[in-house]
Amino acid sequence: MEFKRHLVTAALPYANGPVHIGHLAGCYLPADIYVRYQRAQKRDVKFICGSDEHGVPITIRAMREGVTPQDVVDKYNTIIKDSFEGMGISFDIYSRTSNPTHKETSQAFFKKLYDDGAFEERESEQYYDAEKDVFLADRYIIGTCPNCANPNAYGDQCEKCGSTLSPEQLINPRSALSNSPLVKKPTTHWYFPLNKYEDFLKEWIVVGKKDEWKSNVYGQCKSWLDSGLQPRAMTRDSSWGVPVPLPGANGKVLYVWFDAPIGYISATKELTNQWADYWCQEDTKLVHFIGKDNIVFHCIIFPAMLKAHGGFVLPENVPANEFLNIEGEKVSTSRNWAVWVDEYLKDFPDQQDALRYVLCANAPESKDNDFTWKDFQDRVNNELSAVLGNFENRAFVLMHKLCKGRVPALHADEMNEMDNALIADIKEAKTKVENAIESYKFREGLAEVIDLARKGNKYLQDNAPWSLAKTPKLQEQNQKRIDICMHLCLQLTANLAILLNPFLPYTATKMRKKMKVVERMLDWENAGRIDLLKVNYPLLAPELLFRKIEDEEVAAQVEKLRENLKKATQQIMENKPTTASEAETPLAEAKATITFDDFAKIDLRVGTILKAEKVEKADKLLKLEVDMGTEVRTIVSGIAMHFAPEEIIGKQVSVVANLAPRKMRGIESNGMILMAQNADGKLIFVSPTQTADNGSEVK
């Protein structure tokens, strides 16, 4: 299909923290390259982004910092926006989901689906904070983690041991708002029956996108579709978000993943009155740039929503990237293991293109990649400066030395094979870069540009105009050859500026200014031409495009990473005691609030493990037979990651004997083995130091 317009979105960054270079490499940089290329092709393109400002993590952060959610999103929206601007990410609009337009748009979207009967209404029991008179989302519920005993685990996840939880699993759940214990109350929510769209999605993706979408994206989608889709709640009980536009729905807001993608539409509305052309006309090419963590929302849920609503185009492609690791380790915001964009801009002023270069050249297009500062230095110094920057500099210096600072003539009568080969290379490079960008292979496209500069270096070397001008007399004899060589080098430089422009816009602009040409010269259609610079046109003096990255800078950045990690780790330790000594105080307090009667309810006994075996199809579970003196009990315990079955047989352990039985993986567990856990996550049995009788009471 011939597309009349292009609509490009980049994932809405979540406004509860700054952006790091992983975000840039995974999503925003490729999107920006793609869009700049489309603009250079003079195609009708709109580049949409904005802050995602709803959801529970923002309210949690607000509570921790003692400010309002609006304060939180205002702060980070500014930081994020500035980071993008600073790196030259050229959105046509950077909006935010807390804007009125978004409220209207997402409510209207919801209302349309509601009126069409697209939702299923369901009542369920959920935790309720009586003191604050609100239902609590999973994130608002705090309790003791059943795995690692962290007393501050959230209802959806324990940040200390990383396990996914549901609120029901928490021990002694309490409210994050009031710290009071919770009760369960019925509440109503609207579910979107994704299962009803399975056939449509299978046809559209599994059949239709097989050879078009990247294998990681396609595979992930197919996996979801094959395992069957479930209805998903599209509303939440919360005070922060877009209110559900229905009577009697007080205290209910749209689920962030319902409202966030609609944010793309709202932002387009803010940008232009013609927004409907971009979203509703069949000849629009919609492309979502995202990271791999967003695949399901952009490929499954949002398209199903759009389909249910009707009248919208569906994404033509969703080129999701994998993750970028830092110095061999996964990015972690809580451990502050990341290279933050705002800090890079401060530490490396005017070096946007150096980072853009490295992040694109090493983008995680097909698998997770590693960013190291050493690699950053190597690539900037040995590829960007040495090949590209150096060629451009050579061309300018030689032109000034041998051609009086003006573009020399191209004497057709004396052109040879080398000249023609170079011209062919320039034309070929245009096609190669074009194909690479159109198929979302940005690292390949950028490599082609560098390769063209490399060919320029070789051409210079082979012609060696400096040798042709060793003496004034020689130069006079050879001036025609020198002119041809320098003419082509300069035309090549102009071509490099065009081809480079989507990738390294700052550099392209610098080059353009030195050549004293108008911005229009960078139009893509001009690539491949060798008459971009007029003969006899005077150019500016040489000036380096890039500077080298020094060893000290690299060392300083690595040091900074380690320092940040250290500080963040310390902070975590202070907030959430993990070592035995730090845990003593809170433990004593906990005892004071529990009555003896409460304690006496727990029947703790000593037992001996007689048998142990791995539970089928469960990574973490061991099935234990424990001799309790009067009986042998079956207990299922989540310790398989820490102990081999054979090494714990005969071990005497402490058992909570009167815990209500519970089935796990089809096996009924009758009790719980007590374990101590170190800060490093290691498990240790809580056992009698001398052998006790099996079944003897622990008190």
Using CB under 7 A as the binding rule, the residues of this chain from 135 to 194 that contact RNA are 146-147, 163-165, 168-169
Say which amino acid occupies 234.
Answer: M
Tell the smallest beta-carbon distance from residue 53 to RNA (Å). 22
- Residue 546 binds to RNA (criterion: CB under 7 A): yes
Q: Which residues pair with 235 in a beta bridge?
A: 254
Binder of RNA out of 105, 107, 126, 220 (CB under 7 A): 220
Binder of RNA out of 387, 415, 554, 649 (CB under 7 A): 387
Tell the smallest beta-carbon distance from residue 453 to RNA (Å). 8
Stretch of 15-23, 180-188, 196-204, 619-627 lying at the interface with RNA (CB under 7 A): 619-627
- Count residues binding RNA (CB under 7 A): 80
- Residue 364 binds to RNA (criterion: CB under 7 A): yes
Return the residue matching tokens 């530490």: 347
Residues 315-328: b if buried by 16+ CB within 10 A, e if exposed: bbbbbbbbbbbbbe
Tell the smallest beta-carbon distance from residue 144 to RNA (Å). 10
Say which amino acid occupies 500.
Answer: L
How far apart (Å, rounded) are the C-alpha atoms in residues 384 and 123?
A: 60
Stretch of 99-107, 115-123, 302-310, 545-553 lying at the interface with RNA (CB under 7 A): 545-553
Binder of RNA out of 30, 502, 607, 638 (CB under 7 A): 638
Tell the smallest beta-carbon distance from residue 617 to RNA (Å). 4
- Residue 510 binds to RNA (criterion: CB under 7 A): no
How far apart (Å, rounded) are the C-alpha atoms in residues 93 and 664?
A: 50
Tell the smallest beta-carbon distance from residue 338 to RNA (Å). 14
E strand segments, 359-500: 369-371
Tell the smallest beta-carbon distance from residue 645 to RNA (Å). 13
Tell the smallest beta-carbon distance from residue 329 to RNA (Å). 9
Q: Which residues contact 228 (CB under 8 A, 6 or more apart)?
A: 195, 198
Q: Does residue 335 contact residue 569 with C-beta atoms inside 8 Å?
A: yes
- Residue 443 binds to RNA (criterion: CB under 7 A): yes
Chain-centre distance of CA 545, in angstroms?
30
List the one residue out of 669, 546, 531, 688 whose CA is nearest residue 608: 688
Structure tokens at 605: 């006994």
Tell the smallest beta-carbon distance from residue 27 to RNA (Å). 15
List the one residue out of 241, 258, 242, 182 whose CA is nearest residue 59: 241
Binder of RNA out of 59, 362, 479, 526 (CB under 7 A): 362
List the one residue out of 678, 687, 674 whose CA is nearest residue 639: 674
Tell the smallest beta-carbon distance from residue 655 to RNA (Å). 10
- Residue 671 binds to RNA (criterion: CB under 7 A): yes
Tell the smallest beta-carbon distance from residue 620 to RNA (Å). 4
Of residues 395-414, those binding RNA (CB under 7 A): 397-398, 401
Binder of RNA out of 126, 294, 501, 637 (CB under 7 A): 637
Closer to RNA at the Cβ: 69 or 364?
Answer: 364
- Residue 222 binds to RNA (criterion: CB under 7 A): yes
Stretch of 105-113, 219-227, 556-564, 597-605 lying at the interface with RNA (CB under 7 A): 219-227
- Residue 529 binds to RNA (criterion: CB under 7 A): no
- Residue 557 binds to RNA (criterion: CB under 7 A): no
Structure tokens at 357: 């270069």
Closer to RNA at the Cβ: 344 or 546?
Answer: 546
Binding characters for RNA, 645-664, by CB under 7 A (x = yes): -----------x--x--x-x
Tell the smallest beta-carbon distance from residue 372 to RNA (Å). 8
- Residue 359 binds to RNA (criterion: CB under 7 A): no
Binder of RNA out of 180, 366, 536, 658 (CB under 7 A): 366
Tell the smallest beta-carbon distance from residue 198 to RNA (Å). 15
Structure tokens at 128: 């309720």
Sign of CA dihedral 179, 183, 185, 190: positive
CA distances from 318 to 209, 273, 636 (A): 10, 26, 43
Binding characters for RNA, 323-342, by CB under 7 A (x = yes): x------x------------
Stretch of 84-92, 281-289, 464-472, 490-498 lying at the interface with RNA (CB under 7 A): 464-472
Would strands 141-144 and 153-154 be described as parallel, antiparallel, or unpaired?
A: antiparallel
How far apart (Å, rounded) are the C-alpha atoms in residues 136 and 140?
A: 6
Return the residue matching tokens 């932002």: 267
Of residues 578-617, those binding RNA (CB under 7 A): 615-617
Stretch of 106-114, 115-123, 182-190, 385-393 lying at the interface with RNA (CB under 7 A): 385-393
Tell the smallest beta-carbon distance from residue 382 to RNA (Å). 3
Q: Which residues contact 596 (CB under 8 A, 6 or more apart)?
A: none
List the one residue out of 19, 62, 146, 158 whose CA is nearest residue 572: 158
Binder of RNA out of 665, 678, 684, 691 (CB under 7 A): 665
Structure tokens at 253: 């807001």
Q: Which residues contact 435 (CB under 8 A, 6 or more apart)?
A: none
Binder of RNA out of 1, 2, 417, 461 (CB under 7 A): 461
Binder of RNA out of 152, 178, 457, 634 (CB under 7 A): 457
Chain-centre distance of CA 148, in angstroms?
28
How far apart (Å, rounded) are the C-alpha atoms in residues 86 and 81?
A: 8
- Residue 210 binds to RNA (criterion: CB under 7 A): no
Say which amino acid occupies 490.
Answer: L
Tell the smallest beta-carbon distance from residue 457 to RNA (Å). 3
Closer to RNA at the Cβ: 476 or 619?
Answer: 619
Binder of RNA out of 454, 529, 576, 642 (CB under 7 A): 454
Closer to RNA at the Cβ: 69 or 167?
Answer: 167
Backbone angles phi, psi at 501, to 5 degrees: -50, -45
Q: How many CA atoms lie within 13 A of 48 on its CB side?
A: 28
E strand segments, 350-439: 369-371
Binding characters for RNA, 283-322, by CB under 7 A (x = yes): ---------xx--x-------------------------x
How far apart (Å, rounded) are the C-alpha atoms in residues 128 and 136?
A: 6
Binder of RNA out of 219, 538, 650, 688 (CB under 7 A): 219
Tell the smallest beta-carbon distance from residue 675 to RNA (Å). 9
Q: Which residues contact 465 (CB under 8 A, 6 or more apart)?
A: 398, 402, 478, 481, 482, 485, 486
CA distances from 615 to 484, 509, 640, 667 (A): 77, 63, 9, 9
Binder of RNA out of 32, 259, 353, 383 (CB under 7 A): 383
Binding characters for RNA, 467-506, by CB under 7 A (x = yes): x---------------------------------------
DSSP string, 201-235: HIIIIIITSTTTS-HHHHHHHHHHHHT----EE-E
Q: Does residue 608 contact residue 626 with C-beta atoms inside 8 Å?
A: yes
Closer to RNA at the Cβ: 42 or 601?
Answer: 601
Stretch of 20-28, 195-203, 344-352, 461-469 lying at the interface with RNA (CB under 7 A): 461-469
Tell me the three state secondary structure of residue 139. helix
DSSP string, 65-84: HTS-HHHHHHHHHHHHHHHH
